[in-house]
Amino acid sequence: MSQNILQVTDLSMRFGGLLAVNGVALSVKEKQVVALIGPNGAGKTTVFNCLTGFYKPSGGTILLDGQPIQGLPGHQIARKGVVRTFQNVRLFKEMTALENLLIAQHRHLNTNFFAGLFKTPNFRKSERDAMEYAEYWLEKVNLKEFANRTAGTLAYGQQRRLEIARCMMTRPRMLMLDEPAAGLNPRETDDLKALIGVLREEHNATVLLIEHDMKLVMSISDHIVVINQGTPLADGTPEQIRDNPDVIKAYLGEA
Amino acid sequence: MSKSLRSALFSAALVWAVAYPVLGLKLAFSGVTLVVQNASTGTLLTIAGCSLLMFLRVLFAERIGGLRRDSSRPLIPAKASNFLTLPSTQRWFILALVVLAFIWPFFGSRGAVDIATLILIYVMLGLGLNIVVGLAGLLDLGYVGFYAVGAYGYALLSHYFGLSFWECLPLAGLLAATFGFLLGFPVLRLRGDYLAIVTLGFGEIIRIFLRNLTDITGGPNGISNIEKPTFFGLSFERRAAEGSQTFYQFFGLEYSPIGKVIFLYLIALLMALAALFVINRLLRMPIGRAWEALREDEIACRALGLNPTVIKLSAFTLGAAFAGFAGSFFAARQGLVTPESFTFIESAIILAIVVLGGMGSQLGVILAAIVMILLPELMREFSDYRMLMFGALMVLMMIWRPQGLLPMQRPHLELRK
């Protein structure tokens, strides 16, 4: 069995008197797709925010490749390779699709002021490589023809795909998708499923996702973690979760 | 009908309410007291005429609108406007302007060259503020503070240490950048309106500080007799100081008083062009893209591993540096700096230039600087109504081109096929 990339133990997040997340544990292995599910308001996005440094967790440990990352600022966690999308798409709407992808590579580019001022060969090469990599991914998500369209004018499904491509530009260790299928029609959802499959097979991506579309979750996940009202409820393979009476109760209420 | 009649009557009354106190009443001295006089019958008739026109305009607004819709054509045809905002067109346009800008002062009048120099100072300031406001989206109302730092930087260094303009120029820029960096640190965690208020405060603090530091800065009197820039050590005065030559003596030319003005203009032009070049490059560098991304969505930036503080700080610092360069040139041109040159209204004018030109657009900023500085100069004869016309211009802009004179166009990046 491959090694754990992400190991979360006893994670808790408190907002004043409200314990939004309490004792959540999860572990993600290399090339796995792990889903985090639960009813509305269960604290799934709060867990995401803790993992990506947007919130500072009140307790627990988060280990990325064995290194603790809890409490680090968001951009540092992102630099360590944990990159996320958002529930409501957060693209740079006034900028073109291509520029969106170039920004995500910021860290890998030559940002030297004088190199850019005088367009040194080194700078040109760095920019050209970035363009090529962006082009590669635009092709992957079928958006190449829209490269110079401003991101805000793309269709919703395309925006979702562009956001995933933008994450991949950072060469992430782990990709975190917050409700990637929200607002997509069934065909687009199928495309998304295929895309996640490609990411995993061809690009060794490790994915942690929040999703409400059970059909999608059950078909792509290797492992599912269910939380309810901030506390872990169940944890297992899709089959185990489907038959778990507690999960059914939480979703459908007392029979 | 009754509704449009009512709104028409209201508009007509509004014309009276606005125009009568402004144009229809006059203050006059009667001995030592001020009395209010009615203006001439002619003025009152004009106001009445205007209000009647307004009445008719509003009354038949729908019918006029219908007429216009029949021949619905925008102010500038879409094709032409698209062509005008294309990057390649803008580049050629800029090139032509640059050549023209180098040649015309030799044929222009002294006054015109002087105003052009002033415009160029504002172009520099506008370009600098454009980084902060237009690109990085940080509303900075205290930009004039850095301008003051640059101006006083040169004035003080020249006054106390006898450094020349060319030695002080980079120092003044550096000084202003340092100020931008230091002030940026605490304020950049604020957003939007809060940032605006705090920067406004900083701008005023710098001015008041300079005014109260009487021992060093001369307080409200400022520093006078600041040295003018020289051409490789050759001055443009009628007589040179001991042991040096004037430009005219060295080249065996006859002294002409306009030479100094043209020289200052050319320096300003070179500085503005340098600023234009540097900022243009910055836009196409990763840092330029990061500024815009930050304006669009700070949270997404953070999720992608960009450090918002560093990016904001770089925008603030670079913007301040350009203000510093402009400031030191301003001090050299005026030969005098006082705190009163750096009041809030200056910040407002520079901001107006950026917004008027179209946020983020370089050419727009240049055009707006020309409009903003030239119009008040041209309207000197109507000095009473200068501000009124200024306001009218702003309102017209808001209606016709809310996105600015020349809105920014996204660079089109070519992918290899």
Closest CA to A108 of A137, A83, A86, A133: A133
Which residue shows structure tokens 């009512």?
B6
Mean pLDDT of B3-12: 85
Q: Which of B137-151, B202-216, B378-392 has the lowest mean pLDDT?
A: B378-392
Q: Does A166 sit within 8 Å of B287, measured CB to CB? A: no
Percent of chain B with pLDDT over 90: 34
Q: Does B292 sit within 8 Å of A94, measured CB to CB? A: yes
What sign for the dihedral angle of Cα A38, A41, A45, A46? negative
pLDDT digits (tens, 9 = 90+) for A79-110: 999 999 998 899 999 899 999 999 999 888 87
Please give the residue that has the higher pLDDT: either B267 or B59.
Answer: B267
Closest CA to B127 of B364, B335, B287: B364
Given 3-state DSSP classes, what are the helix, strand and coil percentages for chain A, each rounded to the nearest 5?
40, 25, 35
Q: Does A101 touch chain B (CB under 8 A)?
A: no
With CA atoms as reference, the chain B residue closest to A117 would be: B281
Please give the residue that has the higher pLDDT: either A16 or B381.
Answer: A16
Residues of A in contact with B292 (CB under 8 A): 92, 94-95, 99
pLDDT at A248: 84
Q: Does A32 touch chain B (CB under 8 A)?
A: no
pLDDT digits (tens, 9 = 90+) for B255-265: 777 888 889 99
Q: Does A168 touch chain B (CB under 8 A)?
A: no
Closest CA to B150 of B278, B291, B309, B275: B275
pLDDT at A1: 45
Q: Which of A89-103, B12-26, B148-162 has the lowest mean pLDDT?
A: B12-26
Cα angle, residue A65 at apex, residues A62 and A70 outer, rounded to 5°: 25
With CA atoms as reference, the chain B residue closest to A170 would be: B304
Q: Which of A93, A103, A132 sits opposite B304 (nearest CB)?
A: A103
With CA atoms as reference, the chain A residue closest to B302 would be: A75
Using the predicted structure, report yes or no on whether residue A15 has a pLDDT greater than 70.
yes
pLDDT digits (tens, 9 = 90+) for A20-65: 999 999 999 988 999 999 888 888 999 999 999 999 999 999 999 9
* A153, A90 Cβ separation under 8 angstroms: no
Residue B213 CA to its chain's centroid (Å): 28
* Cβ partners under 8 Å of residue B251, min gap 6: none
pLDDT digits (tens, 9 = 90+) for A205-250: 899 999 988 889 999 999 999 998 889 888 899 999 888 888 888 8
d(CA A118, CA A127): 13
How far is B93 from chain A, CA to nearest CA, in Å?
22
Closest CA to B366 of B330, B404, B334: B404
Q: So what's the architecture of B92-400 in CATH?
A: Orthogonal Bundle (1.10)
Which tokens go with B291?
């500024």
pLDDT at B71: 53
Using the predicted structure, report yes or no on whether residue B38 has a pLDDT greater than 80.
no
* B356, B368 Cβ separation under 8 angstroms: yes
Residues of A in contact with B282 (CB under 8 A): 116
Please give the residue that has the higher pLDDT: either B299 or A107.
Answer: B299
> Looking only at Cα atoms, what is the longest distance across chain B?
85
Residue B353 CA to its chain's centroid (Å): 4
Closest CA to B122 of B331, B351, B317: B351
pLDDT digits (tens, 9 = 90+) for A126-178: 888 899 999 999 998 999 899 889 999 999 999 999 999 999 999 898 999 99
* A25, A232 Cβ separation under 8 angstroms: yes
DSSP E strands in B148-290: the ranges are: 223-224
Given 3-state DSSP classes, what are the helix, strand and coil percentages for chain B, each rounded to the nearest 5?
75, 5, 20
Phi first, then psi: give them for residue A80, nearest 5 degrees: -80, -5
pLDDT at B342: 93
Please give the residue that has the higher pLDDT: either B337 or B375.
Answer: B337
Q: Does B286 touch chain A (CB under 8 A)?
A: yes
Task: State the alpha helices, DSSP H only, in chain A.
Answer: 44-51, 74-79, 97-104, 113-117, 121-140, 156-169, 186-203, 214-220, 238-242, 245-252
ipTM, interface predicted TM-score of the complex: 0.89
Q: Does A136 touch chain B (CB under 8 A)?
A: no
Please give the residue that has the higher pLDDT: either B35 or B341.
Answer: B341
A66: left (phi over 0), alpha (psi -120 to 50) or beta: left
Please give the residue that has the higher pLDDT: either B185 or B238.
Answer: B185
Q: Does B289 sit within 8 Å of A106, measured CB to CB? A: yes
Using the predicted structure, report yes or no on whether residue B76 has a pLDDT greater than 90.
no
Provide the whole-model pTM.
0.83
Q: Does A222 touch chain B (CB under 8 A)?
A: no
